[in-house]
Structures are given as C-alpha cells and as structure tokens.
Amino acid sequence: MKNLFTSLFFSGSILLLSCETLQNLPGTGTAQGISQAEAAQGIKQALDQGLGKAVLQLNTTDGFFKDAFYKILLPPDAAKIEKTLRSIGLSSMVDKAILQINRGAEDAAGMAKPIFMDAVKNMTIQDAIGLVKNGDTSATHFFREKTTAKLIAAFTPVIQASLDKVDATKYYGDLVNKYNHLPTTFKQINPDLTGYVTLKATDAMFDLIAKEEVNIRTNFTARTTDILKKVFGGIIK
C-alpha cells in the first residue's frame, strides 16, 4: 500500500512538473510581465521588421528579376503570346518586356512600406494578443487576410506609375499589338498587366514578411529590439 501511495505521489509530481514545463514553452503558457500593449507593440514591430527586409530585398536591381521564386513572368493569359512570338524569332522582344516588368515591380517595392505600415497601424491590441500566441506566420496571415483589398487598391497606382516609368507598359503593349496583328491570330487578347503585377508584387511582400515572422519567433538573434525579445521570448496565453 505504501509503495502504491509513493508511486502515485511520484507520478503526480511528474505530471505537475510536466504541466509547469509545458506552460513555459513558447506559445503554450502565459508570459509573466507582458502587457496587452506590449504584445501589440511586439507584433507590430515584427511585421515592421519583416516589411523592412522585404523592401530591402525587392527594391533593388534584380530584386525580382534574378530571384527564381519572385521573378514575374508574363500573365498566364499571355502565355500564348509568348509562345507564338518566341516561335517566330521574337524572343528578345519577349525578354525585354519581362525584364522591364520586373524593373517596374522593383521600383514600386520602394514605395510599399508606408502603404503596408498604414494597414499595420489599424490592428487592435486584442488582435495582437491572439497573433502572438498562435505562432508560426499567424500575424502575417491575419495582416494579409484583413488588408489585402485595401493594400491592392493603394498599391495599384504605384505599380502603374513604376511600370510606366521603366517603359514596361510600352514593351508589353508592343508584345500584345504584335501578337494581335499576326495573320495567325484569330482572337485578340490584352491581359491586365497592372493588376497582375500588383498581385505578384504584393504576394512577394507578404511571403518575405512571413519568413521574417518565423525567424523572429524561432531565432533569438532575430529579435532586434527589447520589446521583440520580451514578447517573443515569453509566452502569451
């Protein structure tokens, strides 16, 4: 009987110790000394840091063009244009249009931060508490879900201006006109370049923000401010 009691006591102690340990793992317990305001500040700083790195990477020559993952090709609806023009020896014309489209996206990325940060400022403190405890890329996912429509509306004229600035609109228009006037073209097409590039550029920004969010959550050295260290080094319940 004594042995049974000792065994039960020992097992219970292990269970309590396990629960206490679990509560101190990231994302599972309550961080002592972290206020709601600090949680909000931390999540916004994480998004701001991710956005800063995204802009730094994309807003440079070849930031889009030489990145295998983010390079912007012709719109899917223009695939027939590309295939046809390459088949008749106009590959250089297609390549020039693709290059200038990426140059336009690279230029526009430099003006993305204030547009994106304006959306971050609209997050509520309660939103931030939930985002800290959910982990992974939850902050970026929430940010994307709640702000994409407004971001695209604000970012579209910026993309359009950048495409015009580097003559991407002209080169793309030349492609479309060339294809539409071929004797073998029976159905003219003119896919929306600005809308397509805006979506691709926005996707790239969100993807890089998400990668930095994961980095901040999992890598201590990525927490570059005291509030990031406090919020993501602790636990919110």
Q: Is residue 108 part of a domain?
A: yes
- Per-residue pLDDT tens digits of the chain, which is 237 residues long: 545 444 433 344 433 333 333 233 343 333 446 787 888 899 899 999 999 999 999 999 999 999 999 999 999 988 899 999 999 999 999 999 999 999 999 999 998 888 888 888 877 767 777 788 887 899 899 889 888 888 899 999 999 999 999 999 999 999 999 999 999 888 888 889 999 999 999 999 999 999 999 999 999 999 999 999 999 886 444
Q: Is residue 195 part of a domain?
A: yes
User: pTM here?
Assistant: 0.80
Q: Is residue 212 part of a domain?
A: yes
Q: Is residue 163 part of a domain?
A: yes
Q: Is residue 8 part of a domain?
A: no
Q: Is residue 35 part of a domain?
A: no
Distances (CA, A) of 100 to 1, 59, 74, 79, 91: 82, 14, 11, 17, 14
The answer to whether 154 and 103 have CB atoms below 8 angstroms apart is no
Task: Domain of residue 120: give its range.
Answer: 54-233
CA distance 74 to 78: 6
CA distance 164 to 159: 9
Alpha helices of the chain — where are they, by DSSP H?
2-23, 36-58, 79-87, 91-109, 112-121, 125-134, 138-165, 168-180, 193-218, 226-233
Domain total of the chain? 1
Close Cβ partners of 108 (under 8 Å, ≥ 6 residues apart): 155, 158, 159, 161, 162, 163, 201
CA distance 228 to 34: 11
The answer to whether 234 and 35 have CB atoms below 8 angstroms apart is no
Q: Is residue 66 part of a domain?
A: yes
